[in-house]
Structure 1
Amino acid sequence: MATECEAWLNANPVDADDLSDSFLSGDEEKGTTRKIDNEINGNWISTPTSTSTIQEARLKAKAKRRLRKNSSRDSGRGDSLSDNGDGVRGHTAPPTSPKSKLLDRKSRLGKGRGLPKKGGAGGKGVWGTPGQVYDVEEVDVKDPNYDEDQENCVYETVVLPLDEEDFEKTVTPIVQEYFEHGDTNEVAELLRELNLGSMSSGVPMLAVSLALEAKASHRELTSRLLSDLCGKVLTQNDVESSFDKLLRELPDLVLDTPGAPQLVGQFIARAVADDILSKSYIEGYKGKVDCEHARAALDRAAVLLKMTRGGLRIDNLWGTGGGQRPVNQLIKEVNLLLKEYLLSGDTLEAERCLKELEVPHFHHEFVYEAIVMVLESKGDRTLQMILRLLKFLWKSTVLTVDQMRRGFQRIYMDIGEINIDVPCAYLILEQFVDKSFNAGIIDKRLRDLCPCRGRKRFMSEGDGGHLKIEIY
């Protein structure tokens, strides 16, 4: 259709005055032959005298609009109009493809294997390929920003020294954790990372202050810690100044720990024996001490050092606490504890001594040895006292259900060997188990597991010829 319109226009040229967009002048309006302007499809044309002329003007305007529309739509695309008026493109999409090549984002050149750009080293926030190591960049002397002083600079991480408040908050958890694991090397590594500065002398004082309120095993660990830290993290002057502060603050420490003077004196004696305090440390205070508590601490240390010359081992001053002691030593201490109780009858003292052993996992041995004493004893006094002690420790939760059960089960397993030395061991064990069940120490299941020895007695005089079975 567009081609036909164009051919018709070429054959019938249109006068420019006929398609003028301007209005009529004033003279023309006054003439005899006055033209009436009308607008057809956006173009101002003069009103013709016949209908055919109007039809021709409309066809001309329609042909011009179609030419303008086709030229603006197909410009730059290489399209052309065929003879039939259909648009023909240079590159058409294949029949099987739903999209044309204009929407295809693949490379037009046919190169590449689909790998990432720059081998994965490109893109935002990427510093290079994985595993790439950058060499030290050489300094360019000709660089306008070059500075000679920067070549000799050494960059280090600066750790600010701790003040008194931060020191206590930081070091206290370290010492408390040391009481649990007992590794002095770990404490030394943690203290090296801190900038103690002038607060290095506060480490022994803080450790000893915490140990005064702790157990004997913790005091032994504290003495070992001070001995291992001296020379690595601390100096001998730091230890001496720390003990000087302890002696000055003894009046305040006595309020929380009444035995603080004796304990501090033992720490001083142990430090002198470990060569972290000079031997003349105590002599330097002679005649210069006005505080009663400080004098008591120094006297205690002097007495202990004199006793070492007579054979006392001051390295075992605090003893070895907890499970670090050998089993044979723990068994001896348990037996000694039970013998002292049988002589005194003081259950509170027996409880305190059992707690000081610091072996809650070994309390089954205490139950075992107590029952053995009952089996080997003569008379009912030992049975009643041991039963009262076990009942007291059971109510105070010092002896747990598991430890009590294990102690009785060990007796059940060894009763055959015990019976060799104690012929009536089975009978005494049955009596003790029944009384323990009545006292609420053991349950019915554990009572029923108690072994008993059966003995068959055959016919004898007075039996009437019948077989008797008695259980003892």
Structure 2
Amino acid sequence: MEATLKRCGKRGFTEQGLTRMCRIVHLGLTRACLFTRLESEAPREVMAADCEAWLNANPVEADDLSDSYQSGGEEHALVSRAADEVNGNWVPAPVGTVHEARLKARAKRRLRKNSSRDSGRGDSLSETGDASRSAVPPASPKGKVLDRRSRLGKGRGLPKKGGAGGKGVWGTPGEVYDVEEVDVRDPNYDEDQENCVYETVVLPLDEDNFTRTVTPIVQEYFEHGDSDEVAELLGELNLGSMRSDVPLLAVSLALEAKASQRELTSLLLSRLCGRVLSRSDIEASFRKLLKELPDLVLDTPTAPQLVGQFIARAVADQILSKSYIDGYKGSVDCEHARAALDRAAILLKMSKESGLKIDNLWGLGGGQRPVNQLINEVNLLLKEYVLSGDTAEAERCLRELEVPHFHHEFVYEAIVMVLESKGDTTLQAILKLLKSLFDSTVITLDQMRRGYERVYMDIAEINIDVPCAYSLLEHFVDKSFSAGIIDKKLRDLCPCRGRKRFVSEGDGGLLKLETY
């Protein structure tokens, strides 16, 4: 025993700890001897009664039964209780003290058991044994049985929902970064670089680039006729000194075009004046145009008359001054330029005296003309063709009408002319013309079909003026099918009127009764 105490002293145990250790050893030996004696001399019930009596005579505090490390306050309490020992023996304590110790020990055992079982719910027991709800949320993972989130405090490296973090994420849409401020003390700092406004600079066009760029714009304008689009495209270009060449290029292209495109050119010049071009630019352009007339006559023999009409139209549209023509009197040596100025002066004089409308100088082209006027021109074209038989001239005149959507009227009037003529000569001529126009795709298959279908629909009214219209139409349709102008389906649609026989050919010429 003494050797054990010496080893404990060398290991650093205090006096209070040694005293407590001796008490535990003494208590354990005493209990072992008592249990051994009782088991050998008395039955189990007597042994239990004797143990109870011995424990009442030798009480032990519940705190002494724990094997945990004691704090300084607990060691002080053990020192104070050591005074109750006499010659190493315990002094008997009252019965009430033993009963209170049992209650405390039982409550602490229950507290330890509940703390490990209900740690996730935040329940605890007070010193009196009452359950209380802790205000601190549970930290044990046992309370969240179905929680599948990680409790390691780390995510999977993915960006948060609705956030802008994470690897490879540019940020939330619309996120604006702070403007980087330039340090004045930076050796590369330049005061002139602050508050700079950058402007896109377009290089001015030279003569080659001008022709290559503006020519497609004017040619497309002849197709769609939108002058606003042309003004927008020209406004995006840096024309520079080539600005006065825009009317010159447009008029030069219009000289080789149709009358409707010349009208579009005059409208374009009047609408560009004040937006893209000035009056001085237009005057300079016509001055250049008069100088280039000898070269233009080689390609367009009527160029002087056409240029004179353009000048007269420009004066009428008030984009050229009225004194523009008078400024050239007696100073023009070129006869082509003199002819152009004389043509313009005559047209302006006629507009004052006879009320000639120079606004419609080029006439209405294409579908802008009235339908009755187009029908009259188609009939005149067909009559001239029947007399001359010139298929090429008829094709040229039809193209100059510029009404490809109205060619079904040409087919309709041609077939009606065949039905009204009742002659084989007109039938063969019209058949030849339709075949030529169909093969050259001047008249499309759709327009040809619509023309024949219109005749089928109006054959009943035509038959009033032409009694044999049904038979003539059927004959002409068969000829057209044989020539390859129409297909079999369109031929089968040809209406045929059944012949009502009043005299039977097989009955000897006898008249049929009215009830037949």
* TM-score tier after normalising by the smaller chain length: 0.5 to 0.7
How big is the alpha-carbon RMSD for the aligned residues of Structure 1 and Structure 2?
A: 3.2
Length-normalised TM-score, structure 2? 0.62
Give runs of aligned pairs for residues 291-440 of structure 1, distance below 5 A.
291-309=334-352, 310-377=354-421, 379-440=423-484
Deviations 1:245-274 (A, max 9, x none): 111111111222222222212211111111
Q: In structure 1, what is the Cα distance between the partners aligned to 2:224 and 2:440?
A: 28
Deviations 1:90-130 (A, max 9, x none): xxxxxxxxxxxxxxxx999514585428943676794x432
- The structure-2 alpha-carbon separation of the partners of 1:456 and 1:290, relative to structure 1 and needing over 3 Å to count, comes to same
Secondary structure of 2:298's aligned partner = helix
Compare 155-164 and 344-353 and name the one that shifted more: 344-353
- The structure-2 alpha-carbon separation of the partners of 1:107 and 1:167, relative to structure 1 and needing over 3 Å to count, comes to farther
Task: Decide which of 203, 209, 212 is 2:255's aligned counterpart.
Answer: 212
- The structure-2 alpha-carbon separation of the partners of 1:462 and 1:201, relative to structure 1 and needing over 3 Å to count, comes to same
Superposed displacement of residue 374, structure 1? 2.1
**Larger Rg belongs to:** 2
Deviations 1:184-220 (A, max 9, x none): 1111111111111111111111111122222222222
Superposed displacement of residue 315, structure 1? 1.9
Superposed displacement of residue 240, structure 1? 0.8
Name the amino acid aligned to 1:458: F
| Same amino acid, percent of matched pairs | 82
Q: In structure 2, what is the Cα distance between the partners aligned to 1:407 and 1:205?
A: 43
Give runs of aligned pairs for residues 128-143 of structure 1, distance below 5 A.
128-134=171-177
2:314 is aligned with 1:271: yes
Contact 1:250 1:293 in 2 (8 A): yes
- The structure-2 alpha-carbon separation of the partners of 1:335 and 1:461, relative to structure 1 and needing over 3 Å to count, comes to closer
Q: In structure 2, what is the Cα distance between the partners aligned to 1:416 and 1:195?
A: 65
- Structure 1: any 5+ residue segments left out of the alignment? 1-105
Name the amino acid aligned to 2:287: D
Compare 168-177 and 147-156 and name the one that shifted more: 147-156
Contact 1:247 1:294 in 2 (8 A): yes
Superposed displacement of residue 276, structure 1? 1.0
Q: Which has the higher helix share?
A: 2
- Structure 2: any 5+ residue segments left out of the alignment? 1-148
Compare 385-394 and 185-194 and name the one that shifted more: 385-394
Give runs of aligned pairs for residues 178-327 of structure 1, distance below 5 A.
178-309=221-352, 310-327=354-371
- The structure-2 alpha-carbon separation of the partners of 1:338 and 1:306, relative to structure 1 and needing over 3 Å to count, comes to farther
Contact 2:204 2:240 in 1 (8 A): yes
Give runs of aligned pairs for residues 426-465 of structure 1, distance below 5 A.
426-459=470-503, 463-464=507-508
2:195 is aligned with 1:160: no
Q: In structure 2, what is the Cα distance between the partners aligned to 1:363 and 1:189?
A: 35
Secondary structure of 1:258's aligned partner = coil
Deviations 1:287-343 (A, max 9, x none): 111112212222222222223232322222222333343434322321232233344
Q: In structure 2, what is the Cα distance between the partners aligned to 1:270 and 1:121?
A: 70
Flag the structure with more relative contact order, 1 or 2, with Cα contacts below 8 A and sequence separation at least 6. 1
Compare 287-296 and 113-122 and name the one that shifted more: 113-122
Length-normalised TM-score, structure 1? 0.68
Secondary structure of 2:500's aligned partner = strand
- The structure-2 alpha-carbon separation of the partners of 1:144 and 1:238, relative to structure 1 and needing over 3 Å to count, comes to same
Contact 1:457 1:467 in 2 (8 A): no
Q: In structure 2, what is the Cα distance between the partners aligned to 1:376 and 1:230?
A: 54
Contact 2:158 2:166 in 1 (8 A): no
Name the amino acid aligned to 1:417: E
Q: In structure 1, what is the Cα distance between the partners aligned to 2:322 and 2:276?
A: 21
Secondary structure of 2:499's aligned partner = strand
Q: In structure 1, what is the Cα distance between the partners aligned to 2:421 and 2:180?
A: 88
Name the amino acid aligned to 2:350: M
Correspondence for 1:116: 159
